[in-house]
């Protein structure tokens, strides 16, 4: 769990970058995942309430060449959605950025929490000649970095997202 505070974005980005790099994910995918996490966390901080704990939750899960990143908060008065922005808009581009970088993204609601998730292509980095990159396939969670459970097949929500983009 992360504090419902702007400093959480930088902390999460550093941790995610470190873990994805250590897992052998290529640099461009690490950059995309980091940008998506920044946008999702920033939106949660700006537009939503914290979870009942007073915090927000960030998690990531890797399976093969895909990473799911998700941010859970206490919800807001509106549904997260990608809307049109104009050149003079001061904001409103975050989910458009997520949509352009992610394979898909969506929103699910569960027990008073709203979770915005995105799937990111995450191929392994090219290994130098003779080297073998073994990227762990599994799950990791980010937050206090101790109190989030790993997301395995049994604990991941199995139902469809409330909304998924693109369909």
Domains by residue range for the chain, with CATH: 2-124+135-165 (3.30.565.10)
Q: Output 122 or 161, whichever has higher pLDDT.
A: 122
Cis peptide before 166 (omega within 30 of 0): yes
- What pLDDT, on the 0 to 100 scale, is given for residue 157? 46
Task: Tell me the C-alpha distance between 148 and 130, whole Å.
Answer: 37
Mean pLDDT score of the chain, rounded to an integer?
A: 79
pLDDT at 16 over 60: yes
pLDDT one-digit tens code per residue, 94-133: 788 999 999 999 999 998 999 999 999 998 886 444 444 4
- Cα distances from 84 to residues 7, 32, 75, 88, 112, in angstroms, run 28, 21, 22, 12, 28
Instruction: Give the lowest-confidence range in 14-18, 24-28, 57-61, 157-161.
Output: 157-161
Rounded average pLDDT over 49-54: 96
Q: How far is CA 78 from the centre of its chain?
A: 20
The beta strands (E) that lie in 22-150 are given as: 55-63, 66-73, 104-110, 113-121, 138-142
Task: Tell me the C-alpha distance between 166 and 8, whole Å.
Answer: 28
């Amino acid at each position: 769990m992360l504090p419902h505070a702007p400093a959480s974005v930088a902390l999460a980005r550093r941790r995610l970058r470190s873990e994805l790099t250590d897992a052998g994910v290529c640099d461009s995918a690490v950059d995309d995942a980091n940008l998506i996490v920044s946008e999702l966390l920033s939106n949660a901080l700006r537009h939503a309430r914290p979870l009942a704990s007073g915090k927000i939750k960030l998690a990531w899960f890797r399976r093969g060449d895909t990473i799911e990143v998700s941010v859970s908060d206490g919800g807001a008065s509106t549904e997260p959605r990608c809307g049109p922005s104009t050149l003079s808009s001061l904001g409103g581009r975050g989910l458009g950025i997520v949509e352009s970088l992610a394979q898909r993204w969506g929103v699910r609601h569960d027990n008073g929490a709203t979770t915005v998730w995105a799937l990111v292509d995450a191929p392994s980095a090219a290994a130098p000649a003779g080297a073998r990159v073994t990227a762990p396939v599994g799950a990791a969670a980010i937050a206090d970095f101790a109190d989030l459970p790993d997301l395995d097949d049994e604990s991941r929500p199995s139902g469809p997202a409330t909304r998924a983009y693109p369909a």
